[in-house]
Structure 1
């Protein structure tokens, strides 16, 4: 069933006719309604990005949409988003702009410690929703970019070009540290040999903040290509910017490998296989040295599948791979700032009928009992524990589901 919207008093299907109408509605500041549920007003807002008009749900409204709708989002309480919404993430429903409160600096004075000394030995992620950790920022960007969403038509279409575009669009309406987030965010452009010099020029412009002052920092989000030893230090080399290594001295490298042993082990378990490989995404604040190299300061790593869907454990990776192989529609849950012993839904299936189904693969013996009980008691979705070897909850065809929800 094709997605339909009410624009300027007309019911219009997603397709070629939609963009001109969105342009008129954008100019008139007119409201657009999603028609996924009969008799229910579900407003969307329009943003103009990269010469096209994009419809996005209002913050916190995703769970009200029909599960078959592209704008459906799992309820916040199922993931770490519930902890940070309204505190570290403040949405302005009038402007559509989002303010992000960051728990790490984006500048350093001469009196501050060297970068290696302020890279934490312990996990930087704390169970606090007041400010976003580096991992929290990465998860929020991934969520806003809808890189947590999957349906079968996406198969084979998620390249780094697509991921980068989605991340930049997600950041376009965000502010952090009283600045537009795109001004402090660097996401490497896909490398093309024939455009090498033009790409370098655009990269230099994008990095103007750290070239202007060694006290200023930016945040990089990219894919790790390799981690190599170099004269007593280590270098993290990202894909598409192989000539821009990020340097870690011996002490920082020790801390890095200790802190992210689990994420590195998951990535290395898949790295080098003959099948399509997983990716290891890094988010990190960085500054430029006088010599022209770049220091990493606060860092987060996130293993993702070949489809760029994040996972935390090998069991969760297997679950995602199974759901992708069986051509299921789902949303991947993210932890954001939550500690690892706090339960979240691994993914939420959108193709199980009028009620979505949250799939859990938690070890109930090693988690905090009360939060898990509260999670499972949450309304709006069905809940199902799953382990390897078991089938996923049954699918309801999209046509049948849409018809039932439209009539509701």
Structure 2
């Protein structure tokens, strides 16, 4: 339920023919604040704003208001301080509700100098996870985490089971990239994701990809770069001492890895690569910057990797994957927390159970974690659960205490982000090798 001016809107009873013009009118008047009526604790409702995404008007939560929503609300997010997001807000990530846009500052380049560099300088170039030493810029991994969270693939409800697939992932990530800007360009102009592959449309898909990459081809001392996001199919040896990164749904578009690029990737993401090998039904997601040579060859520059479960939920360890798998199997509701720029030693929340009363912040710590988790702010309606994976068995998972009146599909028009629930995945078309 939402309130716009003095009018109560029940999305289950109001169609787009009525709602879209109403939201468009609010969008033209930024001083008008729709309110979400999900939380009894917020007697006046929680302020929202209207953004235009993908040609549609959607209600989005105001910055910093996520914890004020009911845990059952699609607009609820735990306090940013529990994750790696908090240090970036207001610096590397600047939300602008007045315009409905978000300004991003990157700590990695989108051009590459083609002039030969000394071997020492080339070897010292940092990897995607460590480009910056402060929180005024986003690393490549932080951008990957940001897109995943903006697309709501960190949120899990039982109704989402069996409904996530590559077409849904692609659609919602691309929608999440809209209304995001960098210093000089729209993020949606920089980001490429492979279309779902079908053999019948192979030539058309390749033609559209060539057109998307056309702006990168040109002569000069610098190579322009784009961003590619996809599921890693393989990292295989190529000829002449190089390797190639193969992305699913793009079998005819290998990304060439120079030896130093491959070495940096294996050094920075050895854990992610090992987890993908150890857990067969998991997936490995890559976000990379890449350029195109005048001959049309795609060359990877920097790479960030992230493990996700069969349900496309990110995880960092075998222990975390086991916990997520059990929660999914028992029909639990939760939100996964992400690290962004923070190192693996920081004691950040793993996930937040949203079906306990109050929500439960779950921490997984180990011998290498830098100290215990910080105490929870007593003013926040949260409780804490800690599993030290280095000592003793896992403690019992707090049981669900909340019964939801309905498991109806959350609405994509009024939700804060596009929702991840989609139709079941059709039978896959075999990719050409």
On whether the aligned pair clears a TM of 0.5, the verdict is yes
Kindly report which structure 2 residues correspond to 1:35-74, keeping only aligned pairs within 5 A, or say none: 35-38=37-40, 39-74=43-78
How far is the alpha carbon of 1:374 from its aligned partner? 4.8
Kindly report which structure 2 residues correspond to 1:382-401, keeping only aligned pairs within 5 A, or say none: 382-386=383-387, 389-399=394-404
2:254 aligns to what SS in structure 1? strand
Q: Which residue pairs with 1:10 in the alignment?
A: 7
Worse-superposed segment, 127-136 or 253-262: 253-262
Q: 1:122 & 1:399 partners in 2: Cα distance?
A: 41
Alignment of 1:219 with 2:216, yes or no, is: no
2:368 to 359, 366, 369: 366
How far is the alpha carbon of 1:8 from its aligned partner? 5.6
1:246 to 246, 249, 255: 255
Worse-superposed segment, 74-83 or 50-59: 50-59
Q: Which residue pairs with 1:405 in the alignment?
A: none
Kindly report which structure 2 residues correspond to 1:165-244, keeping only aligned pairs within 5 A, or say none: 165-211=171-217, 215-231=223-239, 232-244=241-253
Tell whether the 8 Å contact from 1:5 to 1:35 is kept in structure 2 after alignment.
Answer: yes
How far is the alpha carbon of 1:141 from its aligned partner? 0.9
2:354 to 350, 358, 364: 350
How far is the alpha carbon of 1:209 from its aligned partner? 2.7
Kindly report which structure 2 residues correspond to 1:371-382, keeping only aligned pairs within 5 A, or say none: 372-374=373-375, 379-382=380-383
Alignment of 1:146 with 2:152, yes or no, is: yes
Q: Which residue pairs with 1:314 in the alignment?
A: 318
Tell whether the 8 Å contact from 1:12 to 1:18 is kept in structure 2 after alignment.
Answer: no
2:275 aligns to what SS in structure 1? helix
Worse-superposed segment, 377-386 or 118-127: 118-127
Q: 1:284 & 1:24 partners in 2: Cα distance?
A: 39
Question: Structure 2 vs 1, CA of residues 324 and 222 (structure 1 numbering), >3 Å: closer, same or farther?
Answer: same
TM-score, normalising length: structure 2: 0.83
Q: 1:49 & 1:196 partners in 2: Cα distance?
A: 29
Q: 1:97 & 1:36 partners in 2: Cα distance?
A: 25
1:134 to 131, 135, 140: 140
Q: 1:126 & 1:342 partners in 2: Cα distance?
A: 17
2:374 aligns to what SS in structure 1? helix
2:279 to 270, 275, 283: 270
Aligned-residue CA RMSD (Å): 2.6
Q: 1:22 & 1:72 partners in 2: Cα distance?
A: 22
Q: Which residue pairs with 2:169 in the alignment?
A: 163
2:253 aligns to what SS in structure 1? strand
Question: Structure 2 vs 1, CA of residues 261 and 19 (structure 1 numbering), >3 Å: closer, same or farther?
Answer: same
TM-score, normalising length: structure 1: 0.88
How far is the alpha carbon of 1:399 from its aligned partner? 3.4
Unmatched runs of 5 consecutive residues or more in structure 1: 272-276, 403-408
Cα deviation digits, residues 171-230 of structure 1 (max 9, x gap): 101011321101111111111223223322322232233135662101111110011111
Question: Structure 2 vs 1, CA of residues 40 and 95 (structure 1 numbering), >3 Å: closer, same or farther?
Answer: same
Q: Which has the higher helix share?
A: 1
Question: Structure 2 vs 1, CA of residues 212 and 160 (structure 1 numbering), >3 Å: closer, same or farther?
Answer: farther
Worse-superposed segment, 251-260 or 315-324: 251-260
Q: 1:121 & 1:345 partners in 2: Cα distance?
A: 25
Question: Structure 2 vs 1, CA of residues 401 and 373 (structure 1 numbering), >3 Å: closer, same or farther?
Answer: farther
2:294 to 282, 290, 295: 290
Question: Structure 2 vs 1, CA of residues 308 and 379 (structure 1 numbering), >3 Å: closer, same or farther?
Answer: same
